[in-house]
Structure 1
Amino acid sequence: MSEQPSGVSRRSVLAGSAAALGALGALALPGTASADPPDWSRAVVDSTMKRFTPAALGGWSYPIGLYLYGQYLFYRRTKEHKYLDYVVAWYDRFITDDGISNSFSSLDSMRAGQMLPLLYNETGNAKYRKAADQLRRRFDSYPRTSDGGMWHAVSRKEQLWGDGVYMAQPFLALYGKVFNDPTYCFEESAKNLDVYFGHLKEPAKGLIYHAYDATGSQPWATGPGKHSSFHWARAVGWFGMAAIDILEVLPADHPRRGDLIGIVQFLAEGYRRYQDPKTGRWYQVVDHGADAGNWLETSASSMYAFTLARGIERGYLPSSYAPVARRGYAGVLQKVSVGADGLTNLTDICEGTNVGDLAFYFGRKRLTNDFHGLGAFLIMNEQFTRRPV
């Protein structure tokens, strides 16, 4: 990972391209206790570290793993070891010389494992390799649908949720690269995206449904497709980021590489179609922007902006998507501010969410500084800091 330039301020983004951001109109910046920091990633990470010691950050979970991966990306840019030390201190609560004690009974429980190969590369400590090996072996016996899709959880029999691919498959692909296990890891991670996509996609909209039930027994699994009925924003965002992350390590000649690029292109068109023209962000239920009760959600908007920007950088998407990415980034920056205590606040982040009906999605809590949003924000901000579109 290459060293990155210094941070990009909110005002520079809003002022940098009048043509690209024109659809945003004259947006007033939210009130802040002080001027915008020169580097939003640093401000968010420093604020989180002031709020929580590693011991108080929370238990093993995918939102914490997502956040710490974002902090790791910031560390890779700055090379300031206190930021890596914080990540290591949290992981060392769970990992010993014997590895990790975890049954990994859900895909969600695997997401924090994304850092294990990275920590091994950073430290050379064998315990991170041992823990990564334990997680890798779990895939051999993890339950799957008849066509090979990994169940969202052992308790969610025969169910594939769009968010699940991000929880497990990027780890598997990265493990294959770092620890020289490419044949199984590359194929299995990419195959799962293909299988999930086949069940969840809605071609007319460029979106995916939240979940699929192979048995058709769930109350939300309506119709012949056996999928849920709505396009929940963060599930769509997880899916795009999963495709991007696997493409980062998949060999150029891998037979499924074209499929994953096609998924990025499919979703990018949906992102463009449903972006809110006033704010640049995206709605909690993506294609129901006109419905009363729907709201613009920050974590998914960060994910979409990241996926578009990385897709353009890697050549998966044409430059015509750059204005969409810039509007998305600028829109998310409208949701972060510095409070009177000098710490950052990131607002309108959806809480953890199961599959439900329209009222259920609209009624989810809108949180401030939730780790789903902080992690997605850092991933997005590091992308735009390193390579503005």
Structure 2
Amino acid sequence: MKKFNAILVGIMLMATVGTTLASEAPAKNDNERPKHYSEWLARSEMKRFPTSCMLDFSKRPNWGYVVGIELESMLDTYLRYGGDDILAYCKQYTDTMIAPDGKIRGYRLLDYNLDNTRTVHFVTRMYREFPEPKNLRAINTIMKQFNDQPRTNEGVYWHKAIYAYQVWLDGIFMGLPGRLLAASTIYSPDLAVPIYDDAVEQVKATYDRTYDPNTGLNRHAWDESREMFWSDNVTGLSQHCWGRAQGWYTMAL
């Protein structure tokens, strides 16, 4: 099911390339048959999971990267084609998961989990279109994690606190695009530009550390400490290239 959901998200992303301002989105009659695959897919998921925080077959309200990515695709669909029901579904998530004081339900900053920062990309886009103070407070919380996130000696984020000294290829997608979008939204240029520069350096260092010259692809992970069971004693590399991580890294670029 998770594989199916990942494919669904990919299709939605491809089907919604390009957006227009919300004010330009056409009004929709609730009984009108959708004309675009992205609308069909969005409403199919909305029927499958009437509460947006339960997307991805969640058992409880879920602050997670899959939910954030899928809702961002739905936001793209709304901005392109309209649909008050789709917008309400997106807003339902931020209203459920983010308290008025900005506290994020189920999120723990000290986990330093890059997977749990990806949803800030969706929240930032919601804030840019429909500014709400609570969403800004949540964005600032995630930005604090980015500022404090443990790093390798070369300055690349650890993937999680429990994965000390480990750089995962998909961590580039989980963290950096959201950090850059948020920085361009809430910071002045003098504060944002160093974040852009840092992102470029992390992208480069991750590529160099995970590159496999025998295949021209990037391995999934690199362990600076060489202590993980999957880590090569000399290179620190994992044994495998993970196709999804390779794709996420490309999307992040």
Q: TM-score, normalised by structure 2?
A: 0.78
Give the distance between the partners of 1:168 and 1:202, measured in 2 at CA: 23
Give the distance between the partners of 2:74 and 2:200, measured in 1 at CA: 26
Residue 170 of structure 1 is aligned with which of 177, 187, 190? Answer: 177
Q: Which residue of 2 aligns with 1:120?
A: 127
Q: 2:108 aligned with 1:103, yes or no?
A: yes
Residue 53 of structure 1 is aligned with which of 39, 46, 50? Answer: 50
Q: Which residue of 2 aligns with 1:84?
A: 87
Structure 1 unmatched ranges of 5 or more: 5-36, 244-389
Q: Which has the higher contact order (CA 8 A, sep 6+)?
A: 1
Give the distance between the partners of 1:160 and 1:56, measured in 2 at CA: 29
Alignment of 1:200-239 (within 5 A): 200-239=210-249
Alignment of 1:113-262 (within 5 A): 113-180=120-187, 181-243=191-253
Q: Which runs of 4+ in 1 moved over 4 A?
A: none
Q: Which residue of 2 aligns with 1:304?
A: none
Q: Which residue of 2 aligns with 1:3?
A: 20
Identity of aligned residues (%): 27
Residue 40 of structure 2 is aligned with which of 25, 40, 43? Answer: 43
Shift of residue 200, structure 1, vs aligned partner: 0.6
Given residue 77 of structure 1, which amino acid in structure 2 is its aligned partner? R
Check the 8 A contact 2:69/2:122 in 1, yes or no.
no
Check the 8 A contact 1:175/1:185 in 2, yes or no.
no
Shift of residue 38, structure 1, vs aligned partner: 4.9
Alignment of 1:298-337 (within 5 A): none
Give the distance between the partners of 2:156 and 2:204, measured in 1 at CA: 9
Give the distance between the partners of 2:133 and 2:92, measured in 1 at CA: 16
Check the 8 A contact 1:116/1:128 in 2, yes or no.
yes
Alignment of 1:342-353 (within 5 A): none
Specify the SS of the correspondent of 1:75.
helix
Given residue 201 of structure 1, which amino acid in structure 2 is its aligned partner? Y
Specify the SS of the correspondent of 1:160.
strand
With over 3 angstroms needed to count, the CA separation of the structure-2 counterparts of 1:169 and 1:42, relative to structure 1, is: same
Shift of residue 156, structure 1, vs aligned partner: 0.3
Check the 8 A contact 1:163/1:236 in 2, yes or no.
yes
Specify the SS of the correspondent of 2:222.
strand
Check the 8 A contact 2:94/2:135 in 1, yes or no.
no
Between 1:100-109 and 1:141-150, the stretch displaced more is 100-109
Give the distance between the partners of 1:230 and 1:160, measured in 2 at CA: 14
Give the distance between the partners of 1:69 and 1:207, measured in 2 at CA: 28
Q: Which residue of 1 aligns with 2:27?
A: none
Specify the SS of the correspondent of 2:227.
coil
1:208-255 CA distances to partner (integer Å, 9 max, x unpaired)? 101110011111111422111111110101100111xxxxxxxxxxxx
Give the distance between the partners of 1:201 and 1:111, measured in 2 at CA: 24
Structure 2 unmatched ranges of 5 or more: 1-17, 22-33
Check the 8 A contact 1:68/1:87 in 2, yes or no.
yes
Report how many residues are paired. 211
Q: TM-score, normalised by structure 1?
A: 0.52
Give the distance between the partners of 1:38 and 1:223, measured in 2 at CA: 55
Given residue 43 of structure 1, which amino acid in structure 2 is its aligned partner? W
Give the distance between the partners of 2:192 and 2:85, measured in 1 at CA: 33
Give the distance between the partners of 2:84 and 2:98, measured in 1 at CA: 20
- Give the root-mean-square deviation of aligned CA atoms: 1.8
Q: Which residue of 2 aligns with 1:252?
A: none
Check the 8 A contact 2:19/2:76 in 1, yes or no.
no
Shift of residue 206, structure 1, vs aligned partner: 2.8
Q: Which residue of 2 aligns with 1:254?
A: none
